[in-house]
Every structure is written in C-alpha cells, then in structure tokens.
Amino acid sequence: MSLLRRRKQPPPPPSDGNGSDHDDDKGKRPSSSSAPASKEATRRTKGKWSCVDSCCWLVGCVCSAWWLLLFLYNAMPASFPQYVTEAITGPLPDPPGVKLQKEGLRVKHPVVFVPGIVTGGLELWEGHHCAEGLFRKRLWGGTFGDVYKRPLCWVEHMSLDNETGLDKPGIRVRPVTGLVAADYFVPGYFVWAVLIANLARIGYEEKTMYMAAYDWRLSFQNTEVRDQTLSRIKSNIELMVATNGGNRVVVIPHSMGVLYFLHFMKWVEAPPPMGGGGGPNWCEKHIKAVLNIGGPFLGVPKAVAGLFSSEAKDVAVARAIAPDVLDSDFLGLQTLRHLMRMTRTWDSTMSMIPKGGDTIWGGLDWSPEDGCECKAKKQKGNDTEVSDDINGESVEVPPEPINYGRLVSFGKDVAEARSSEIERIEFRDAVKGNNIAHSNTSCRDIWTEYHELGWGGIKAVADYKAYTASSIIDLLHFVAPRMMQRGSVHFSYGIADNLDDPKYKHYKYWSNPLETKLPNAPDMEIFSMYGVGIPTERAYVYKLAPQAECYIPFRIDTSAEGGDENSCLKGGVYLADGDETVPVLSAGYMCAKGWRGKTRFNPAGSKTYVREYNHSPPSNLLEGRGTQSGAHVDIMGNFALIEDIIRIAAGATGEEIGGHQEDEVPISGLRARVQFCGFCFAIVIFHSFVPFANSLTGS
C-alpha cells in the first residue's frame, strides 16, 4: 500500500542549478506537461450538451415567450385588437344590439333560451371514490380538465343506467343553472353568449332572460321525473309574464332544444300526472313566439351513424388518418367503444333518429333532394348535362346517381346500384351468432350490445345491403335491442294515421311533429331559423371492420369517394344542403309545409315562418367564427339572425321583419325540398283516408 501511495504522488518539481527545489513555488505552478492536459479536459467538459439541457432550454424558452405574450396581452389597450382588425379588414359594422339600440328598440318580451344537446353544462353532486374532490365541478362544459386527468372515471359518471335511463347508484350529475349554463361551451367558444350580450344592449338582464337548463342526456319526460325541469320551466315562464306587465315570452330553442320545447308545449297542456295541467290555452296566454334555431324537427341522419357505429364524418376521417388508434387495445384506450358505451345510455340521442320513414326521407330509388346539387345552389335537372369534348363536339354527361334515401349502404356499389340489382337477405328474423367477445377479455371490459350480436347477426346486417329511414328503426332494434327498448318508451318515429286517436296523448309522441298537434294558440308565431349552403351529412357508405371480433363491427368506408371534386360523396358520406349538422329537409319542412296555414298538424292556424341564412365563412382568421356563418352552432353569432331575434323580442311580428326569408336561387334551400316533397306530404295528409297507404309508406 505504501508503494501505491508513493506512485500516486505527483512528481517533484524540477530543481535549479544549485540543486535547490524551490520549496516556495511548490503547488503553485503546474508543470508544463500537465497544463495542456488540464485545458483539454476542461474544453471537452464544456463541449458536452445533454438531452436534459436541451429540454430545460426548450421549456425555458416556451415559458419565457408565454409570459412575454401574456404580459403584452394584458398591457395592451382593450381597443388594440379591434384596431388591428379594422386596419386589415376595414371598419366593422355595429353589433346588432348597438344598431337596434340606436333605432330606439327597448326590452319588451321576456326571453327564454332552451339549449340543445351537449351545449349545457353538467356538474357533479355525488360520485364514486375516483371523483373525490369534484363536488359541484363541471364534468361537461368548462375546461374539460378532468377528462384528461381521469378519463375512465369521467366516462363512468357521464353514463346513465342502462336499464332505467336515470342515474347510476351512487352518482348524481345535474345541470348547471343560470345563464352561465350554456353561454360558453368551453372558454372562448361561445354558444349563447353573443346573443345574450346583444340583448343586453337594449336593456335585457337576468330578470328578463331565463336559461331553461336541463340534463340533455335524459329522455324529455325523465327530466320531469327526476328533476321536475318541465315544471320549473312552466313556473318561470308564468313568473316572467306576471312580472313584466303581462308581456308574453319569446322562446328561443336551439338544436335538440327545439324537440324538447315541442315536448314541453304538449306536456304543459296535458292533465296531470303525465302533464303539467296548464290547460289547452296555456301557450296562447304565455308565449308570443317560438324561434327555433337549427331545429332537427324530423331528425338527423348523423344520429343514425352515431348510434350505429359511434362515428360521423369527422371521426371517420380521423380514424382513416390514424388507423386503429380510436379503437385500439394499445394502452387500453378503446376510445370508440368507451364512447359507444356512454352515448348509448343517453336516451336523448334517440329523439333525433329520422322521423316519417320513407315518406319523408325517401326510398331505395328516390329522395326529396333528387335533382339538387350538394354544393352549388342550382338544379341539375333530371336530364343529362351537355359538355364539350376536346374536339369541340357535344358529349352527354350523365348526372351522378345520388340515392339519399339509402341512409346506410354496405359498399359504394350498393349505394349507386339500381334497387332491382341489389340482392338483399332479410335480417329481421336472423339468428344471432355466438358471443364474439368470449375469446378476448378486453372485449368484455367495455360492454356494448355488439358483444351479443355474434357473427351471424353481423353478417345478416351486412347482407341486407341498404337501409332506408323505415328499415333503420328495425336495424337499430336488431343491433341494440336494450337501447331501443328504452327509447321506444319515450320516442316515436312514424306518421300519425289519426291525430284524434287517444294513443297520441301519450308523451312518447309529443316530440314528433308528425304525430302531434301544435297547441291551440292562433296568436303564437313559430319560426324555423337555420343556415344553408354547407354540405351536410345525409347518407353513409359502410363496410365491415377488419377485426370485428373485438372492435365495433361496422365503420364508415372512408375510401368511398365520388367521381370528381364536385361530387356529393366524400369519405363515405353523401352530403346535401344544410347547416353542417341538420339537413334543410329536417330544419324547415314543417314550417314550410306541415304547419303552413290550418292543417291537421296545426289546427289553430298558428303563423309559421321560414328564415334561411346563407352561410358565408369568415374571410380571415381575425374574424373568428364569422358574423355571417350558417353553421349549426356558429349561427348563434350571425348578425342577421341576432337582429331578427332582437326585433321580435322588442315586439315585432313575423310579417314586420320580412315574413319568409328563403334563398333567391330557384332550387336552393327549402323551396327545392318543398317542390320535390309535395307528393310526399300529400301521402301524409291522406294517410288516414287511404287504407293501403301504410304499405306504400312502410310506416
């Protein structure tokens, strides 16, 4: 050991000529040989740059930039963003509230807002252990922060009981109350906020505005059973009328809220215990006008895709871009199956299944939209188009076949074939196969009714090839019998043979405008206000999933495309005119035809008006979501729509604001639907007089 220690000691410094060791300089000067080595080691140490260093610098730069931008945002004058916008786009028009305030309009009729599906906030009042600390925190709406922190716990609390359609044991989720319930869906994404702000410009405030918040997951009648929501709406409307000089209310429902308030108007008239006991003249005494925004009166095809495969156009595109991510077992995500398990417990979604069957939506070889362009607002015509070939000679170009009546087709070839060429095998009496989930534990973890369908049932569904609005109901009963068993208690999708039949007094018919009468309110006005000019989902091309033993067995075939860029078939979805969610046929048909004048659906002759708003997207990012948008939610910020609403709330009638407002292009919007649906409605009118009409309509 002494030898090792001796070897590790540094060599003695060199001596001078006198043999002196210069003890004074020992340890103060490095040797000439060790100095370069020390400098080289230092240089190598300084040159190293680890991943940790890079991450720290990146986080530091991002945080510094974020704080700098936040500081500048808070330091700049409030008018600076508007100044920049006006410098680029020119002077902005006054908001409708400011404009009408200058005209002298003031608050008159109290206003009631009825939000649609998913736009109303929900908060937790009681939950399981995984939801500890979330008492009265929003599970829906707001920041959605808890979705990312505990997604499976969130799904569990947002789901309803599969048998009752009400709360699961130990869970209570309730709607947020007040105007904040649906003014913003998430921070920065308005729903009712712009309309509320403009109404406030002419004097409206909390005492003259009421948000009729409800739990949009429940069936309409169950909102009364569990929360007495319908009774609260009735009481609040009566209070607002009494405290505002007897001025009747103006009701503004949006999306599914249109169907909910249609149900309310029948409920409030009906005697207890099923109804509110208001009597046959309650609506006449308390409601001036109902302004339905984007109302799916006759349902939406998108609801079919959502219930059938938990997807729509956007989800199908995302799935095509990232295959197997949304329904992969990787990391236990299985996103679409969790989504299906949750949404199939929401009974309200079944209220938007298409109503009226083939009579309204079309059959295998026809639909009300036949002859219309899905994009351009002009008639294609039933004849072939004429174009010039490269030699200048005229060539007949046959129009692209569009069979909108086939809401679901298995394969593009089936969607385009003549009905006589389609060989269909009946599925309704097919024997369902063995449980397809028995071999995979992860399949059983997320229960969907597809687990009980089996290969035999899956093959039977695909072999039927094409489904219309009438057979869609049977299809959903076949693939999801428990869901539809609950839904059939609360909703109906047919056309009434005789509206005086006592069976139509049941609440399951109240949200279907084809199976109920409007209230006895001749002085009440009804408006259909909706956007046009946006391609909207109308029918779907499906295929079998490649691994149906565990996945949802059916999916939209995103490879199905039309012949050119102007085709109505995009990514397995046939598009028609509408507001991106609700086709024009559903949004405007009742006010344009079914309720126009005194009809069996409108025996009191309440005046109805159609107000179409042609979609105009924002010209640049500074305009946000645009002030002329016709999109299903963005239309809530449409200046023309807001101006119409404020004028009516301030006392104007439908005639005074211009009556019907339909697009001037001859075959666009609702007029086309009315022309081509004329004979459909004739069938509806004579349905109770022609014995064999049932076989023709399939209802």
Identify the H or E element spanning 151.
helix 151-158
- 315 confidence band (pLDDT: 50, 70, 90): low
Contact criterion met (CB below 8 Å) for 278 and 514: no
Which are the contacts of 42, defined by CB distance < 8 A and separation ≥ 6? none
Tell me, what's the pLDDT at 408?
Answer: 96
In a domain, 425, yes or no: yes
Selection from 540, 555, 575 nearest residue 468 by Cα: 540
- Residue 124 pairs in a beta bridge with 173
Domain match, 472 and 414 both:
yes
Q: Distance of CA 577 to CAs 79, 442, 484, 581, 694, Å?
A: 39, 41, 29, 10, 29
Domain match, 239 and 321 both:
no
Spell out a b/e string for 350-363, using b for 16 or more CB atoms within 10 Å of the CB, else e: bbbbbbbbbbbbbb
In a domain, 137, yes or no: yes
Q: Up-side HSE of residue 675: CA atoms within 13 Å toward CB?
A: 12
Domain match, 611 and 559 both:
no
Tell me, what's the pLDDT at 619?
Answer: 77
Q: Distance of CA 616 to CAs 117, 529, 613, 626, Å?
A: 25, 16, 9, 8
Q: What is the mean pLDDT of residues 280-300?
A: 97
Q: Which residue has the higher pLDDT, 242 or 624?
A: 242
In a domain, 259, yes or no: yes
Contact criterion met (CB below 8 Å) for 510 and 274: no
Contact criterion met (CB below 8 Å) for 207 and 247: no
Domain match, 329 and 360 both:
yes
Identify residue 678 by its one-letter amino acid code: G
Burial class (CB in 10 A: 0-12, 13-18, 19+), 506: middle
Q: Which of 635, 657, 679 is the last residue of a domain?
A: 657
Residue 313 pLDDT > 80 = no
Domain match, 171 and 184 both:
no
Structure tokens at 532: 């046009």
Domain match, 305 and 431 both:
yes
Residue 451 and residue 249: Cα distance in Å, rounded?
Answer: 49
Active-site residue set: 255, 579, 632
Domain match, 222 and 277 both:
yes
Tell me, what's the pLDDT at 92?
Answer: 67
Tell me, what's the pLDDT at 12?
Answer: 54
Q: What percent of the chain has pLDDT over 70?
A: 75
In a domain, 264, yes or no: yes
Domain CATH code at residue 587: 3.40.50.1820
Q: Token pair 């075939």 is at which residue?
A: 557
Q: What percent of the chain has pLDDT over 90?
A: 55
Domain match, 595 and 626 both:
yes
Could you please report the per-residue DSSP string of 312-375? -HHHHHHHHHSTTTTT--GGG--HHHHHHHHHTT-GGGGGGS--SHHHHH--SS--TTTTB-SS
In a domain, 546, yes or no: yes
Domain match, 243 and 343 both:
no
Tell me, what's the pLDDT at 150?
Answer: 85
- Averaged pLDDT of the chain: 81
Parent domain of 210 = 97-120+178-298+517-533+577-657
Whole-prediction pTM: 0.81
Structural domain total, the chain: 3
Domain match, 552 and 631 both:
no
Residue 63 pLDDT > 60 = yes
In a domain, 82, yes or no: no
Q: Which of 135, 158, 175 is the last residue of a domain?
A: 175
Domain match, 588 and 603 both:
yes
In a domain, 589, yes or no: yes
Phi/psi of residue 501, nearest 5 degrees:
-65, 130
Q: Which residue has the higher pLDDT, 140 or 5?
A: 140
In a domain, 14, yes or no: no
Domain match, 116 and 127 both:
no
